[in-house]
């Protein structure tokens, strides 16, 4: 099997990895996680076994980078002189690109990840189960429940 140059790997799988990062992290942190994913992948690529599922490998790295982003955000202190009063915004806030991120954010983390890895990255449920640490049936149920919730949202919720 021919080893592809890494630039070809980025070109072929970059969009899918970015969609996964956006779905899991939201639009604000997605590009940083995408960059970190491909930096890590670049270092490890020479050791990747021939015939490996490159997209599944990249999505696994992206999942770990998303966890790193969540952990870093949790450790970052936010200093304010006094607590502000919460704002009442009539419409979607910045970064909620047409309401889609708001709809995805309303899902539990496991449903959001199952949808992202299966529907956006195109991974089979068996591989998603390995990523999320569960059974294939449980992942199918999480994805189905998440999709059902998204479908029942009013069209106004997604704008």
Structure confidence by residue, pLDDT tens digits, 20-37 = 999 999 888 899 999 999
Model pLDDT, residue 64:
92
pLDDT for residue 93: 52
Question: For residue 94, what is the enclosing H or E element?
Answer: none
The 10s digit of each residue's pLDDT in 106-154 is 899 999 999 999 988 899 999 999 999 999 999 999 999 999 999 888 6
Predicted pLDDT of residue 105: 86
Structure confidence by residue, pLDDT tens digits, 65-91: 988 988 888 788 777 788 777 776 555
Task: Answer whether 111's CB lies under 8 Å from 144's CB.
Answer: no
- pLDDT the model gives residue 159: 47
Report the C-alpha gap between 140 and 145 in whole angstroms. 8
Longest CA pairwise span in the chain (Å) = 61
């Amino acid at each position: 099997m021919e080893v592809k140059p890494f630039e070809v790997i980025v070109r072929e799988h970059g969009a899918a990895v970015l969609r996964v990062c956006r779905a899991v992290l939201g639009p604000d942190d997605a590009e940083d996680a995408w960059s970190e994913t491909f930096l890590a992948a670049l270092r490890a690529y020479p050791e990747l076994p021939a015939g490996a599922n490159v997209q599944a490998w990249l999505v696994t790295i992206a999942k770990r980078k998303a966890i790193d982003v969540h952990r870093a955000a949790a450790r970052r202190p936010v200093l304010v002189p006094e607590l502000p009063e919460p704002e009442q915004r009539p419409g979607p806030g910045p970064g909620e690109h047409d309401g889609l991120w708001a709809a995805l954010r309303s899902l539990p983390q496991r449903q959001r990840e199952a949808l992202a890895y299966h529907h956006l990255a195109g991974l089979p449920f068996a591989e998603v189960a390995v990523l999320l640490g569960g059974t294939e049936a449980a992942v199918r149920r999480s994805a189905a429940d998440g999709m059902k919730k998204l479908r029942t949202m009013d069209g106004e919720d997604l704008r």
